[in-house]
Amino acid sequence: MLQPIGVKALYGLALSGDRLLAVDPFRGYLLRLDPKTDQLEILNSQNAEAFYGATGIACWDDQIWFCSDHTVYTTALGEIQPVPVLTLPYPADGVAVWQNTLYVSCKKGSCIFVCDRTTGQRITQFSAPGIGVENLSVWGDYLWVCDQTEQSVYCLDRATGELVVKMLTPFATPTGLA
């Protein structure tokens, strides 16, 4: 469990090399964490306002995507200047990226949208496995989903959304997985 000093809450973990990325939606921080040393770096000290309320984060090839309200934004990790990729009719909660595909969870819509990562064009969607706010991560052929309300982690086939396995977490209200 990660609890860095000076951070109110961590949401939406993502891998970036041997480090983890996360957002603190209450302070607007984009954070880089070293899990081996517990070192913490704030990557957006000059433009925290863009990350207020952010709940999910994903990283692919030094590009990040994050959710804030109804919109998914993207920016280069080296130069933080978020631009919108897509806007949903409901709040976007979690995001994951695999190659050219963007996965976005939406509690109010009870689904996971599958979109083109560049254009935001919707490819398909499938039902969310849980009932709460869900954060996402992709590993190979699998989409991993953690549900805050059900305190569960689900493994889905990322192409079909079919449930592979479900397990309870040892933590209350999980807010991210990588």
Cross-strand pairs, 102 = 97, 115
Query: Looking at the domain 11-168, which fold is it?
Result: Neuraminidase (2.120.10)
Q: How confident is the model at residue 175 (pLDDT cuts 50, 70, 90)?
A: confident
Query: From the CB of residue 162, how many other CB atoms can be counted at a distance below 10 Å?
Result: 10
**Has residue 67 got a pLDDT over 90?**
yes
Q: What is the pLDDT of residues 134-159, one digit of tens each?
A: 999 999 999 999 998 889 999 999 99
CA torsion, ordered 97, 103, 104, 110, to nearest 10 deg: -150
Share of the chain above pLDDT 70, in %: 97
Largest CA distance in the chain: 42
Compute the mean pLDDT over every residue in the chain, rounded to the nearest whole number.
91
Domain-by-domain residue ranges, the chain?
11-168
Q: How confident is the model at residue 3 (pLDDT cuts 50, 70, 90)?
A: low
Q: State how far the Cα of 50 lies from the Cα of 120, in Å rounded to an integer.
A: 19
Question: Rounded to 5 degrees, what angle do the CA atoms 18, 23, 24 make?
Answer: 135
| SS3 assignment for 129-168 | CCCCCEEEEEECCEEEEEECCCCEEEEEECCCCCEEEEEE
Nearest to 31 by CA among 10, 49, 47, 1: 10
Q: What is the pLDDT of residues 12-36, one digit of tens each?
A: 889 998 999 999 999 999 999 998 8
* Tokens 């569960």 belong to residue: 152
